[in-house]
Amino acid sequence: MSKKTLIPIGPYHPLQEEPELFKLYCDGEIVKDIKWETGYNHRGIEKLSESKTYEQVFFLVERICGICSTSHPFAFANAVEEIVGKEITDRAKYIRSIIGELERLHSHLLWVGLAGHFLGYNTVFMWAWKYREPILDIFEMITGNRNSYAMFKVGGVRRDIEGTKIPAIQKVLDDFKKKADLLTGAVMDDPVIHARTRGVGILTKQDVIDYAAVGPTARASGLAIDIRKDDPYAAYPLVNWKVITAQAGDVFAKAEVRLLEMYESISIIEQCLEGLKKEKEGDISVKVTEIPEGTGNGRAEAPRGEVFHFVVSDGSSSPARHKIRAPSYVNIATFRKSCIGQTIADATISLAAVDPCYCCTERMAVAYDVHSGKKLMNAEELINLSVKRTNDIRDND
Amino acid sequence: MSTKTIIEEFKKKYGTEILGEAVKNEKRVIITIKPESILNVADYLYKTAGFRFIIASALHTKKGFEIHYHFSKDDTGLILNVHVILDKEKPQIESLSNMFNASNWIEREMHELFGINFLNHPNQEKLISEGNWAEGVYPYRKEFK
């Protein structure tokens, strides 16, 4: 057997700017084997959640992922509301769906931009990120934040979308439609993008079933799974829209699914805004006084696929166990199918095609001495060190 | 196929393996089975009944170690939790990773964080903390502070 060359991508990804390490074992230009190393940023969120109250957990899970920061609270709310067994108001449902779809829009734009950047097509990168800005502005108008919106709580949402804000949102959507046409055209009809992405990183339908991949990764391989349709929640059963699928399973198909999904998201938001006009303003939450004993399976369709939260309640004010499964956890594992046998240049875009989010998949950090097994630092020591360092800086100023 | 027929079919096949059952509604069902029958049950759900494996959640409780295997039937929105209770002292169960790759990472993670042993796992190495974590320390167990 010939000797293989190791090409590392990481420990800090040069483009995605997140900590991970892909080890590509190559023979010449061809990737023969691939391994993944992680754990650089594992934050212990599942364990931490057990020490927080239900109200606090929303803020915690929102920080799992910066880009899809509403999908985790969305799934968590679904899980807890299943335990409580209370239906939220229609107005809250519409607001939840509007936030969820705006997030899908900006997340897909971010991916399209990054994918262009990966291919060396920086025009797409700049266009996509420029068009993303007005959507973040809407977020700022509705929630006060461009990211991490803090909109969700058990029984509803925290802030209303008043009727006076609707025309401004509609105007951004109208403007965006024209730009989306331009961007979609630039990507779908470009011969260079075709050459770089068609037939690259193919995942067959059977691969997707085997790895249980979700979201656009699964839909691009012809598997029409979408939690918004399959297990409807919030306002999705109240509006008309369709699940976008493609058959080829290559990188181009994944881009196609994401681009076309943006149009569905715009349509869902517009219908939800119409729905809001019929509901009474301010009617955004129902009162929940206690969380009874029980288990809840909450899920939501994030831009990257199904987010799953499993919550076990023992009747106290914090979850007894909280399991989180982010979509990237199952999607990244498919790289063994999509990258082996490709050239190195194609492997980088294949790895990016699932829109991976490494922080989503990591949830624990403890420092141990490998040899003695002793903990190097506990939480209290860490806080004391931080206080000391801060005081040192102050004293020296 | 409605949830009712799916559950009836399941019971007809594995009636003797079932230890308990909780039907919350049309879309959420928990069935507790004997740990030794997990391979047969998962094989039926994945290959015959068309379920998708979402993830598995390990729990450390007074009863010992518990695992909920979450399976999704996407055309009906049903989540079927196959629940097993494992031994307190020596938690172990057959691995599902030879059947589908989807369980490969989560079994490694449960092994690493809870110390549950998965028999016949193709590659039960550490997933998150490769090479920089002490052996025999399981941070997601209740006694870990």
Question: For tokens 């999704």, what's the residue?
Answer: B72
**A113-134: per-residue pLDDT in tens?**
999 998 888 999 999 999 999 9
Model confidence at A10, pLDDT cuts 50, 70, 90, reads confident
CB atoms within 10 A of CB A28: 10
* Residues counted in chain B: 145
Contact A18, A283 (CB under 8 A): no
Q: Given CA atoms B84, A78, A219, A191 in this order, what sign does their dihedral have?
A: negative
Q: What is the mean pLDDT of chain A?
A: 90
Residues from B in contact with A at Cβ < 8 Å: 24, 27-28, 30, 52-55, 57-59, 61, 68, 70, 72, 74-77, 79, 81, 100-102, 104-106, 113, 127-137, 139-140, 144
In Å, how far is A209's CA from the nearest CA of chain B? 7
Query: Which of A39, A310, A368 is opposite residue B137, by nearest beta carbon?
Result: A368
Give the pLDDT score at A101: 96
Q: Pick the range with the lowest mean pLDDT from A62-66, A166-170, A303-307, B100-104.
A: A62-66
Interval B110-124 mean pLDDT = 94
Across the interface, whether the CB atoms of B140 and A308 are under 8 A apart is answered: no
How much of chain A, in percent, has pLDDT values that exceed 70? 94
In Å, how far is A358's CA from the nearest CA of chain B? 12
Domain ranges of chain A: 5-38+364-396, 45-361
Coil, helix or strand at residue A334: helix
Across the interface, whether the CB atoms of B136 and A373 are under 8 A apart is answered: yes
Model confidence at A374, pLDDT cuts 50, 70, 90, reads confident
Mutate to test the interface with B, among A80, A83, A323, A358 (most CBs of B within 10 A): A323
Across the interface, whether the CB atoms of A231 and B77 are under 8 A apart is answered: yes
Give the pLDDT score at B132: 67
The CATH homologous superfamily of the domain defined by A45-361: Cytochrome-c3 Hydrogenase, chain B (1.10.645.10)
Both tokens of A244, joined, read 């976008």
> Does the pLDDT of residue A303 top 50, yes or no?
yes
* A46-69 b/e (C-beta count within 10 Å ≥ 16 → b): bbbbeebebeebbebbbebbebbb
Please give the Cα distance from A151 to A158 (Å, whole number).
5
Give the pLDDT score at A9: 86
Q: Domains for chain B: give ranges and CATH numbers.
A: 3-95 (3.30.460.80)
Question: For tokens 């096949």, what's the residue?
Answer: B13
Model confidence at A2, pLDDT cuts 50, 70, 90, reads low
Q: What are phi and psi of A77, to 5 degrees?
A: -60, -45
Interval A247-275 mean pLDDT = 96
Question: Does the reported pTM lie above 0.95?
Answer: no
Both tokens of B11, joined, read 């019971």
Please list every residue in chain A whose beta carbon sits closer than 8 Å to the beta carbon of residue B113. 364
Give the pLDDT score at A363: 44
Give the pLDDT score at A272: 97
ipTM, 2 dp: 0.95
Q: What are the angstrom distances between the C-alpha of B101 and each of A24, A33, A278, B69, B93?
A: 20, 16, 47, 14, 17
> Any residues with CB less than 8 A from the CB of A17 and at least 6 apart, and which?
none
